[in-house]
Amino acid sequence: MGSQRKYILNGNPRLLLFKFSIPSIIGLLISSMYNLIDTIFVGNGVGSIAIAALTIVFPIQIIMLAIGLMVGVGTASIISRALGRDEKALAARATGNAIILNLFINLILMAGSYLFIDDLLRFFGASANVLPYAREYLSVILFGFVFFSFSLAANHIIRAEGRPRAAIYPMVVGAVLNIILDPVFIFVLDMGVRGAAIATIISQTATVLHIMLYFYLGKSILRPGRKVLRPDPRMMRHILTIGFPSFLTAIIDSVIFLVFNRAILYYGNDTYIAIAGITIRILDIVTKPIVGISYGFSTIAGFNYGAGLFKRVRIILREAVLWTSIIAFSGFIAAMIFPRWLFRIFTDNTQVISNGIVPMRIIVMLLPMLGFLVVGGMLFQAIGKPLPALIINVSRQIIFLLPAIFILPLYLGLNGVFLSWPVSDFLSFIVTLVLVVIELKYISRTAGMEEEKAPV
């Protein structure tokens, strides 16, 4: 640990950023592959109406993701602290309770969702045309939610054990298998959206099997057995309490997509639901590397800030903003110049392609700002100041984006719904800029008053 600390406090900031960011980027990109792959194959195999169906189901999937995040983040925190105290039995017990908790919550939600599936889909914005396709997809994918949620939670648990590479391998297995199975079920077996759902479930099951092999046959010290697979209400409450903020963040995302989809359906039609679904998936691919870099930045900035190396914090911040902005600007250029080509990856429907150009360009209008928004928010988490980070995240999603979705369409119609994205980005950029500038001035004053501490 001593040599690692010295490396973080003395190493080249750019190389450090790449080293700490790349594993996170890979993991995040793999995690987003399921929806992306399903959308591409479904769009080409079934049509744009099926893309609209997947877009309607997406907020429901986010809820299941939120459960996995809550259980995973909460359990990982307990495990990392327990292992730091060399309390392996406590860490193993936390893992066992995470498995029970994940299974219990998902089974209840699966049963409820299945019983009221049509009402649920209508609530999330499914029109009469989209409903049959959305029902066909969700009725199958529901049974895989427990695997998806477990694999996400297990990913955090394995990372907390200190094995980030081992956490990536099961995700790679699932993503590759999904790429192989999607065309088989959709095109060869002609099963449409149901085939995409079956392929996803099989892939997620393979991921879970790989994880269980790691726990029982690999180098894991958290092997779940009968002794640790015993419900502990106190442990479960502790897991849920710690993981709740992550759950809440994901639920807010689900609510935003719900409101966004319903606004599109109100002012437009199913074609624009499909357009929004495609655009969001493209944005997701651009966003994941940016978030991955922010994770790497957080570790490096936290170490250097704690060591009093404030000048290095500013340098690392500059590097992170530079590279995330390059990625965001590249996505902006691609969406602005080649929107027709991007839509053709997902569909050959000429109406979707021609009608989607303007909405895509509107949504990505201020995409180059995204790098600074994400890294700026992460800066405050890295240096132990959660309140400014909370202000940035809440202001962008709740204070700016949700009201914009309601207000702008009253004056601009359907384009107002899409314009809500860049408007919220701009307002959030102003808030982030003000907070970061204030913090950097404080850091500069502190650095001027204190000599840079030499790393031990």
Tokens 């890294």 belong to 375
**Is a pLDDT exceeding 50 seen at residue 331?**
yes
* Mean of all residue pLDDT scores within the chain: 84
Confidence of residue 263 (pLDDT cuts 50, 70, 90): very high
C-alpha span between 288 and 393 (Å, rounded): 16
**Is a pLDDT exceeding 60 seen at residue 390?**
yes
State whether the Cα torsion 270-44-35-181 is positive or negative: positive
Of 251, 207, 274, the closest CA to residue 60 belongs to 251
Question: What is the pLDDT, as a whole number, of residue 127?
Answer: 86
pLDDT in tens, 253-262: 888 888 998 9
C-alpha span between 208 and 301 (Å, rounded): 34
Out of 245, 267, 289, a domain closes at 267
Residue 136 vs residue 2, higher pLDDT: 136
Question: What is the pLDDT, as a whole number, of residue 224?
Answer: 62
Q: Are residues 278 and 261 in the same domain?
A: no
Q: Are residues 206 and 278 in the same domain?
A: no
pLDDT in tens, 78-114: 776 677 667 777 887 888 888 888 888 888 888 888 8
Angle at 378 between CA 151 and CA 362, to 5 degrees: 85
**Is a pLDDT exceeding 50 seen at residue 350?**
yes
Confidence of residue 218 (pLDDT cuts 50, 70, 90): low
Q: Are residues 246 and 346 in the same domain?
A: no
Q: Are residues 55 and 15 in the same domain?
A: no
Yes or no: say if 280 and 39 are a contact pair by the CB < 8 Å rule: no
Q: Are residues 46 and 130 in the same domain?
A: yes
pLDDT in tens, 281-324: 899 899 989 988 887 887 778 777 777 778 888 889 999 999 99
Residues constituting the chain: 456
Q: Are residues 221 and 248 in the same domain?
A: yes
Question: What is the pLDDT, as a whole number, of residue 221?
Answer: 62
Q: Are residues 126 and 247 in the same domain?
A: yes
Average pLDDT of span 400-425: 94
Yes or no: say if 379 and 403 are a contact pair by the CB < 8 Å rule: no
Q: Are residues 108 and 62 in the same domain?
A: yes
Question: What is the pLDDT, as a whole number, of residue 413?
Answer: 93
Question: What is the pLDDT, as a whole number, of residue 356?
Answer: 93
Out of 203, 235, 267, a domain closes at 267
Out of 203, 233, 267, a domain closes at 267
Yes or no: say if 287 and 370 are a contact pair by the CB < 8 Å rule: yes
Q: Are residues 242 and 139 in the same domain?
A: yes
Residue 354 structural domain: 1-23+269-456
Question: What is the pLDDT, as a whole number, of residue 1?
Answer: 44
Confidence of residue 3 (pLDDT cuts 50, 70, 90): low
Q: Are residues 398 and 294 in the same domain?
A: yes
Confidence of residue 164 (pLDDT cuts 50, 70, 90): low
Question: What is the pLDDT, as a whole number, of residue 455?
Answer: 47
**Is a pLDDT exceeding 70 seen at residue 4?**
no
> Taking the mean position of all CA atoms in its chain, how far away is CA 199?
21
Confidence of residue 366 (pLDDT cuts 50, 70, 90): very high
Mean pLDDT lowest for which of 27-31, 99-103, 200-204, 414-418?
Answer: 27-31
Question: What is the pLDDT, as a whole number, of residue 324?
Answer: 95
Question: What is the pLDDT, as a whole number, of residue 94?
Answer: 83
Amino acid residing at 354: S
Instruction: Give the E-state strand segments of 66-161 in sequence order.
Output: none
Q: Are residues 12 and 62 in the same domain?
A: no
**Is a pLDDT exceeding 80 seen at residue 451?**
no
**Is a pLDDT exceeding 90 seen at residue 75?**
no
Looking at the structure of the chain, the number of domains it has is: 2
Question: What is the pLDDT, as a whole number, of residue 452?
Answer: 47
Yes or no: say if 113 and 67 are a contact pair by the CB < 8 Å rule: no
The CB-based long-range contact list for 167-171 (8 Å cut-off, 24+ gap) reads 167/27, 168/23, 168/26, 168/27, 168/30, 169/210, 169/214, 170/207, 170/208, 170/210, 170/211, 170/214, 171/27, 171/30, 171/31, 171/207
Q: Are residues 334 and 257 in the same domain?
A: no
Confidence of residue 225 (pLDDT cuts 50, 70, 90): low
Range list of H helices, 348-453: 350-363, 370-382, 386-394, 402-412, 414-449
**Is a pLDDT exceeding 90 seen at residue 154?**
no
C-alpha span between 336 and 333 (Å, rounded): 5
C-alpha span between 402 and 257 (Å, rounded): 10
Average pLDDT of span 373-381: 84
